[in-house]
Amino acid sequence: MNLLTIDFETYYDPIYTLSKLTTENYIRDKRFKTHLVGIKNGDQPTIIVPGHQAQRVFDSINWAETMVLCQHAHFDGLILSHHYNVHPAFFVDTLSMFRALHPAESASLANQCKVLGLPAKGNGYDIVNTRGIETLSPQEYAACGAYCKLDCDLTKRIFDILKPRIPLQELKLIDLTVKMFTDPILELDPELLTESWHDERQATLALFQRAMPELAQEAYDAIENNDAAAWKKLKTPLSSNPQFAQMLMALGVDPPKKLSPAAVKSGKVHPDIAGDPPEGMLLKATKKEKEEYLEANGVPHESEIWTYAFGKSDEAFKLMLQSDDEALVTLVEARLGVKSTIKETRAQRMIGIASRGPFPIYLLYYGAHTGRYGGGDKVNPQNLNRQCPACNGEGKI
């Protein structure tokens, strides 16, 4: 099978960028534009193809007999399928291969080169200089092309190093994983998603109104008018840890606390000798006050060691839901409701995907050091609820 190493260089600007958009959204956006694409046939020199000539070049290739190699094949592969109707016979991805063999290392192209003893990747200045430029000047095109050529050459060299260490079955799994994203077939129902999004917002509103009835009308107006700023301000007492702790204390409840995971990880405190958590509100302190406290007492200030245990997985917090105090239960339910917005944001995100095409399944091969998949593109398909609409939300399929 013929092997092509492919790398796209595309338009971006301060707003339209992968740092603010998902891979799917960026590629399917109407602003998408290919500046150029690097293509390396086997070990032959990489050629640089201008964006306006890419379709003609791609149409001349027998994709049924072609294997495509990329660094981050989800990205380049979706560009191929969505914009050029290109569907290679097989994908290989150095990002995935490296992650499996070096799970503790960053899988960026720059770090792969460092770990594998290859020449350094380009510094990226040539790409930064194209930001916001729709039509590259000859000088910009040449610099961008040189950067792309080096990326293609390094990707091929990395592949040659990693390939002997990856079993064929794993390469097939990588190919399948990439194609679930690059060749999506799952059609989303925007009406059902909109209904789900609305239901989640109404459920959160109902919890808020029960906990804070004096603000019920203001909350209703904010939700109905889709006034995000007003809604955020209204729910701040519930979402802010210090303010929520004050609300608990007003009910005569000592806010539950736990050792700060960051403090434990950094070695500032050991769970076996930490002692009991402080009562009442956690004291605030400036950096100088913390340093003075450490020097005077020989132990870190309590704000460096303890944090509020208000998470849905914190046992002391969950026990409050079993209280006989109805006001306390209502307050805890409202806190969990306004903080747990994953269903609402997921539905909103998927509504956007539905407007652009089928749902690409983004999974990270070897996403964890254990070898299991990770989720990508801000929607982890592994965590989707399997609710059955016919069961009115009470059953699962």
pLDDT in tens, 318-354: 999 999 999 999 999 999 988 877 888 888 899 999 9
Percent of the chain with pLDDT over 70: 97
Q: Which residues contact 392 (CB under 8 A, 6 or more apart)?
A: none
CB neighbourhood size of 69 (10 A): 25
**Residue 6 Cα distances to 79, 88, 242, 346, angstroms:** 11, 12, 51, 32
Query: Which is higher by pLDDT, 274 or 195?
Result: 195
Of 364, 384, 357, the closest CA to residue 186 belongs to 357
List, in order of start, the domains of the chain with CATH numbers. 2-182 (3.30.420.10), 190-345 (no CATH)
For residue 275, the surrounding DSSP H or E stretch is none
pLDDT in tens, 275-326: 889 999 998 899 999 999 989 988 889 988 999 999 989 999 999 999 999 9
What's the CA gap between 41 and 28, in Å, rounded? 27
Of 48, 14, 51, 34, the closest CA to residue 147 belongs to 48
Mean pLDDT of 205-212: 93
What's the CA gap between 7 and 291, in Å, rounded? 50
Mean confidence (pLDDT) of the chain = 92
- Compute the C-alpha angle 161/166/167, nearest 5°: 145
Q: Give the model's pLDDT for residue 272.
A: 84
pLDDT at 143 over 90: yes
pLDDT at 363 over 50: yes
* Predicted TM-score (pTM) of this structure: 0.82
CB neighbourhood size of 157 (10 A): 18
Give the pair of three-digit tokens for residue 159.
């592949």
> What single-letter amino acid sits at 281?
M
Q: Give the model's pLDDT for residue 396.
A: 41
> What single-letter amino acid sits at 81?
S
- Compute the C-alpha angle 279/285/286, nearest 5°: 170
Q: Give the model's pLDDT for residue 158.
A: 98
